């Protein structure tokens, strides 16, 4: 017998133990190496933090449903009054040729008029297909609908339509529903902005909230996949809508359900927005309210102020629009003013929205549900008017607060006043030291002229030293920095540079400056550095030039335009 092959029982057992020892040591070494080389596991960020927010969602949003003439009336009013609408909300199932089939029912004329004014399209949708649609039979034959415990397809007949619901446990059903959404997306092209959700499944059989969350998440993922800057407007306080934890983890924007149009409905809407502000960056209330009874003129005006002074401004009344003959002409003037103001605030609001999406810090802050007051960011303080009155009690937060309507009036923090409230001049206050970037396109609010459109208007309310973190759509985050010593000012940008020329609108400059100069894009007022800028005859002339300055003695406002965008600057 070959000695190499001979094994005694003891020798065999010894070798077996040796092999086990070697194998165990090898496993230990492999585990140590794997542990050291494995990437650190980081808890995933909420979905809404991973998707950059879009500026268009801030509004103003205008919307309607019904027949095409209603849509055309809306577009005519937008054109006639030069309303700065960013997106049109096609509400209810009416925009479809058949409920849930995704086919746009209105003419090319509607699309062309929207494109001419760069108005995006936001579509109401729920995953229900109407019984009278050809698509219903396709879905039925392929087992795409939700069934009850007995295996019967659930049929709903309410405001969402008369039909059945897509089964989100069936991937083929979801794929089919996506093909219906593809229809409107293909039709609208780059005008499509996203979708608007609503309540789901009123059958109360079980699992309806989970269904609402599955639908909302799928719609969110579909939108982000196919629309680069798309948004999905979620719903809170609805029936079988996503729960609060789901909204906190996923939602960027949500409305707080349809509200009655009287003051009581407005109060509920305000409180709901306040309550929702901690869940997501952009909670809002359709300021028009939504019921069969339209608001009276005074209530509507107060609601317009509420709409303009919340993160998202939307007007989608169920009955008459602001330009209806049931209202006095002054009401449309107010709507144009407040919608223009809200649109002008887009750079300010978008900066806060970006910050909120990165840090989960609410945009609405320091709110008081009893007093109906809130800060829109740190720089704007608002008291909402929620009753028939000609004055309201206002208690100011810490700081000093400048009356938006009369910038010579300043109120100390902690003080209490009774503020007059003529309709159309509801309480708005600006913190002393505030820096508020604006997009100004006309002279409707007094923040500039049509010549301001090519520039970023930066409103400055000087204090000793203040800054504002601004999100530039091209260059990203930068800081506006303003320093004041007596009558000398220095205005600069730090880190990055703005992508557009800057028009500084400096409030509270009582005397005409001795000199206004610029150095590498930084501005010096009554300082000792820089090259002199030319004085212009008025604000419009200033806007038409590359650079210069103008002092409005009556308004006590200094305007300065620079086209070179610099960074750090010397002291004032």
CATH of domain 435-562: 2.60.40.1180
401 has pLDDT over 90 = yes
**Would you state the torsion angle of the CA atoms of residues 297, 303, 307, 313, taken in this order, to the nearest 10 degrees?**
-50
What is residue 88's three-state secondary structure?
A: strand
Residue range 131-159: mean pLDDT, rounded: 96
Strand ranges, E, within 298-444: 314-315, 364-368, 373-376, 380-383, 391-395, 400-403, 406-412, 416-420, 428-431, 435-438
Are 498 and 478 in contact by the 8 Å Cβ rule? The answer is yes
Are 95 and 167 in contact by the 8 Å Cβ rule? The answer is no
Q: In the CATH scheme, what architecture does the domain 47-127+171-362 have?
A: Alpha-Beta Barrel (3.20)
Q: What is the rounded distance in angstroms from the CA atom of residue 524 to the CA atom of residue 546?
A: 17
Q: Could you tell me what percent of the chain has a pLDDT over 90? A: 85
Q: What is the rounded distance in angstroms from the CA atom of residue 433 to the CA atom of residue 65?
A: 44
541 has pLDDT over 50 = yes
Please name the residues in contact with 431: beta carbons below 8 A apart, sequence gap of 6 or more.
378, 379, 380, 381, 399, 400, 401, 402, 461
Residue range 517-544: mean pLDDT, rounded: 95
Q: What is the pLDDT of residues 558-572, one digit of tens each?
A: 999 998 776 778 888
Residue range 105-128: mean pLDDT, rounded: 97
Residue range 232-247: mean pLDDT, rounded: 95
Q: Residue 249 is encoded by which pair of tokens?
A: 């983890």
Q: Could you tell me what percent of the chain has a pLDDT over 70? A: 91
Q: Which CATH number fits domain 380-431: 1.25.40, 3.30.1490, 2.60.40, 3.30.43?
A: 2.60.40
Q: What is the pLDDT of residues 166-177, one digit of tens each?
A: 999 999 999 999
Whether 380-431 and 435-562 share one fold: the answer is yes
Q: What is the pLDDT of residue 519?
A: 92
The domain segmentation of the chain, as residue ranges, is 47-127+171-362, 380-431, 435-562
Q: Residue 414 is encoded by which pair of tokens?
A: 């902690």
**Across 8-17, 113-122, 212-221, 248-257, least confident range:** 8-17
Q: What is the pLDDT of residue 570?
A: 84
Distances (CA, A) of 292 to 354, 438, 512: 37, 36, 55
In the DSSP assignment, the letter for residue 500 is S
Q: What is the pLDDT of residue 38?
A: 30
Q: Which secondary-structure segment (H or E) carries 137?
A: helix 134-141
Q: Residue 461 is encoded by which pair of tokens?
A: 């309310």
Given strand 435-438, what is the order of strands in its sheet? Answer: 435-438, 456-460, 502-507, 557-562, 548-552
This prediction's pTM: 0.90
2 has pLDDT over 70 = no
Q: What is the pLDDT of residue 7?
A: 31
Q: What is the pLDDT of residues 325-339, one digit of tens each?
A: 999 999 999 999 999
Q: What is the rounded distance in angstroms from the CA atom of residue 362 to the CA atom of residue 277?
A: 6
Are 91 and 65 in contact by the 8 Å Cβ rule? The answer is yes
Q: What is the pLDDT of residues 429-440, one digit of tens each?
A: 999 999 999 999
Q: What is the pLDDT of residues 39-77, one digit of tens each?
A: 322 334 444 455 789 999 999 999 999 999 999 999 999
Are 410 and 400 in contact by the 8 Å Cβ rule? The answer is yes
Q: What is the rounded distance in angstroms from the CA atom of residue 293 to the CA atom of residue 209?
A: 30
Q: What is the pLDDT of residue 567?
A: 72
Q: In terms of DSSP H, where are the helices of 490-569?
A: 539-544
Residue range 293-317: mean pLDDT, rounded: 96
Report the chain's mean pLDDT, rounded to a whole number.
90
533 has pLDDT over 80 = yes
Cα angle for residues 95, 100, 106 (degrees, 5° grid): 20
SS3 content of the chain, % helix, strand, coil (to 5): 30, 25, 45
Q: Which secondary-structure segment (H or E) carries 508?
A: none
Handedness of CA 200, 201, 205, 211 (dihedral sign): negative
Q: What is the pLDDT of residues 491-508, one digit of tens each?
A: 999 998 899 999 999 999
Are 92 and 61 in contact by the 8 Å Cβ rule? The answer is no
Q: Residue 126 is encoded by which pair of tokens?
A: 């729920």
First-last CA distance in the chain: 103
What is residue 156's three-state secondary structure?
A: strand
Q: What is the pLDDT of residue 51?
A: 74
Q: What is the pLDDT of residue 12?
A: 37
Instruction: Name the pairing type of β-strands 61-64 and 548-552.
Output: unpaired
Q: What is the pLDDT of residue 50?
A: 58
């Amino acid at each position: 017998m070959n000695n190499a092959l001979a094994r005694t029982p003891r020798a065999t057992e010894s070798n077996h133990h040796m092999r086990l020892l070697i194998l165990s040591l090898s496993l230990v070494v492999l585990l140590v190496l794997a542990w050291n080389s494995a990437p650190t596991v980081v808890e995933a960020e909420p979905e809404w933090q991973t998707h950059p927010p879009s500026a268009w969602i801030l509004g103003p949003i205008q919307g309607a449903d019904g027949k095409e003439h209603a849509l055309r009336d809306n577009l005519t009013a937008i054109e006639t009054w030069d309303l700065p609408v960013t997106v049109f909300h096609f509400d209810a199932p009416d925009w479809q040729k058949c409920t849930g089939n995704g086919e746009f029912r209105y003419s090319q004329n509607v699309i062309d008029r929207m494109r001419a004014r760069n108005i995006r399209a936001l579509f109401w949708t729920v995953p229900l297909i109407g019984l009278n649609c050809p698509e219903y039979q396709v879905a039925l034959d392929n087992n795409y609908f939700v069934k009850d415990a007995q295996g019967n397809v659930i049929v709903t007949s309410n405001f969402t339509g008369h039909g059945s619901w897509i089964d989100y446990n069936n991937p083929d059903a979801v794929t089919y529903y996506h093909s219906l959404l593809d229809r409107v997306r293909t039709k609208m092209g780059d005008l499509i902005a996203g979708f608007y959700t609503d309540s789901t499944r009123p059958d109360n059989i079980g699992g309806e909230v989970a269904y609402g969350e599955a639908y909302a998440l799928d719609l969110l993922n579909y939108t982000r996949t196919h629309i680069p800057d798309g948004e999905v407007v979620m719903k809170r306080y609805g029936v079988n809508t996503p729960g609060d934890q789901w909204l906190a983890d996923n939602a960027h924007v949500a409305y707080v359900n349809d509200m009655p149009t009287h003051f009581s409905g407005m109060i509920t809407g305000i409180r709901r927005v306040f309550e929702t502000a901690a869940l997501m960056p952009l909670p809002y209330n359709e300021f028009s309210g939504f019921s069969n009874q339209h608001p009276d003129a005074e209530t509507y005006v107060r609601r317009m102020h509420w709409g303009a002074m919340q993160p998202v401004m939307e007007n989608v009344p169920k009955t008459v629009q602001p330009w209806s003959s049931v209202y006095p002409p002054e009401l449309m003037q107010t709507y144009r003013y407040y919608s223009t103001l809200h649109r002008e605030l887009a750079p300010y609001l978008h900066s806060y929205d970006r910050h909120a999406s990165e840090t989960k810090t609410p945009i609405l802050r320091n709110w008081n549900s009893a007093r109906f007051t809130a800060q829109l960011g740190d720089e704007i303080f608002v008291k909402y008017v929620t009753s028939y009155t000609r004055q309201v009690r206002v208690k100011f937060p810490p700081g000093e607060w400048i009356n938006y309507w009369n910038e010579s009036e300043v109120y100390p923090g902690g003080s209490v006043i009774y503020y007059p409230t003529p309709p159309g001049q509801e309480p708005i206050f600006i913190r002393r030291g505030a820096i508020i970037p604006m997009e100004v396109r006309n002279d409707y609010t007094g923040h500039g002229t049509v010549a301001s459109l090519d520039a970023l208007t930066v409103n400055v309310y000087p204090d000793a030293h203040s800054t504002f973190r601004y999100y530039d759509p091209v260059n990203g985050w930068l800081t506006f920095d303003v320093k004041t010593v007596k009558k000398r000012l220095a205005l600069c940008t730090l880190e990055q540079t703005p992508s557009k020329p800057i028009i500084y609108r400096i409030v509270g400059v009582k005397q005409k400056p001795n000199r206004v100069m610029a150095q590498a894009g930084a501005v010096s007022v009554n300082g000792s550095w820089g090259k002199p800028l030319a004085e212009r005859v008025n604000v419009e002339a200033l806007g038409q030039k590359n650079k210069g300055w103008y002092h409005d003695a009556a308004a006590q406002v200094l305007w300065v335009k620079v086209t070179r965008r610099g960074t750090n600057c010397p002291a004032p």
